[in-house]
Amino acid sequence: MDPFAIKLIGFAAATCTTVAYAPQFIKVWKTRSARDISFGMFLVMVLGLALWLIYGLLSGDAPLVAANGITMVLAGGILFMKLKYG
């Protein structure tokens, strides 16, 4: 398969998995309530995203870096709001 097509698939997957966090982030931001959010799940998720980001940087994989960097900001924001708003 063409390497460019493979990268496009990677970026498409990265877009889907990253955008998936946006509605939750927006909901918590608007309602100022994170009561039903699992702190443990988001803590482990942010750690996993940080590790994927490091892996992507070390391997030079642009889709991994883009997806995990942006998703880490969104999931980290949710985690921060969980701490702030409960």
pLDDT in tens, 4-26: 999 899 889 889 989 999 999 99
Q: Which of 32, 48, 36, 46 is nearest to 75 (CA)?
A: 46
| 52-59: long-range contacts, CB 8 A cutoff, minimum separation 24 | none
pLDDT tens, 44-60? 999 999 999 999 999 99
Q: Where are the alpha helices (DSSP H) in 1-86?
A: 3-19, 22-31, 39-59, 62-85
The residue whose two tokens read 């990268």 is 7
Q: pTM here?
A: 0.83
Distance CA 63, CA 31 (A): 32
